[in-house]
Amino acid sequence: MVLEVLKSIFGRRIRLPRDVVTRVPRAARKAAEPQVAAIAAAIDVIAALPGLADVATTKKLPKGFFAAVQALMAAYDAYVATVVKLVPGLAGAARPGTPEGYHACHEQPAAVTGVEGLAIYRASRPWQDFGQVAQELARLGEQQFKDIQGLHTGKDPDKISMTGAAVQQGRIEFARRGELCPLLDPETHRCRAWEQRPFGCRMHFILGDASAADPRDPRWPKQVKAFNVRMPLRQMVALMQIEKRMLLTPAPFLNANLLQWVQLTEGQQLAEVGEAPLRFSPDGQAPVRANRNRPGAKKFAKEKERRRK
């Protein structure tokens, strides 16, 4: 697993803008040491949770899992913010999931770890249109697999190395289709899962003309100037070790990853141990919360009745 991580980062391959390894200046690394320590502490909390290896059978995560994941994401955001202050040009750069940088949201599929995918699924499952989102994820995942499998030259079509040329070139071919990320609101051009968005989106800064980040643009990917504030390698490896302990073998890309949790939970909410699961209607729709501030709500009716009397 560690060797695959090193090969995927430092090995020779076709690079998408988010694959480019940009070096964080020494001064910024020094200033961000407290944030790196916070990232490591959050990962340690997740690793210490009991029952991580039972998730596949119980279909429940350890109590406190999602709070620890949120702490990890907050620590990583703080790390990125510290680096941004000390690297010229990053403060005003466009970012994926925003109206200024949504062009990069056409660069599919986004890479995710299992921990990220679990948090995204928990946040997005209650969406009223999650069924349509899941269908789009399935369509994109199937197309991506076809693009990669069509480039595979091995004897066994099911044995494809994640660091092989077929996956690398297949990602390029799939990205050039210009498919929009299903988590992006097509009208506002804002990420609907902003608080839980993947690390690959949190780290990515588009320098220069953001429209060049659209894979359909002739300047993509060679002329796209980007800066990626990656999670430090030691902490990323520690995070992947947690996934190994969970025995879930998560898919490395967002489309397949989220569908994996849909299958694991049989379309239900992913709850923690001791937590009451969110109940869905027979058609898979999340319950609509009552709007207690509407004019016809009971609390207003009581006040009206009192005034009438």
Q: Which amino acid is at 268?
A: Q
Between these two residues, 293 and 270, which has the higher pLDDT value?
Answer: 270
Question: On the CB side of 62, how many CA atoms lie within 13 Å of its CA?
Answer: 17
What does the alpha-carbon distance between residue 251 and residue 249 come to, in Å, rounded to a whole number? Answer: 7
**pLDDT above 90 coverage of the chain, percent:** 61
Buried b (16+ CB within 10 A) or exposed e, 66-85: bebbebbbebbebbbebbbe
> Comparing C-alpha atoms, which of 305, 304, 3, 15 is closest to residue 165?
15
Q: Which amino acid is at 262?
A: V
14 pLDDT more than 70: no
Q: Which whole number is the average pLDDT over 4-18?
A: 58
pLDDT of res. 61: 94
Q: Which two tokens stand for residue 254?
A: 């967002």
pLDDT of res. 309: 63
Q: Please report, for residues 67, 133, 236, 278, the alpha-carbon distance to residue 6 in angstroms, rounded to integers and kept in the order given.
A: 29, 33, 11, 40
Range name among 27-36, 88-97, 183-192, 268-277 with the lowest pLDDT average: 268-277
What does the alpha-carbon distance between residue 89 and residue 111 come to, in Å, rounded to a whole number? Answer: 25
293 pLDDT more than 80: no
Q: Which whole number is the average pLDDT over 91-98?
A: 96
Specify the pTM.
Answer: 0.84
Q: Which two tokens stand for residue 128?
A: 């009223």
pLDDT of res. 15: 77
305 pLDDT more than 50: yes
**pLDDT above 70 coverage of the chain, percent:** 83
pLDDT of res. 228: 96
For 121-148, what is each residue's pLDDT tens digit? 999 999 999 999 999 999 998 888 787 7
Residue the block writes with tokens 């969110």: 278
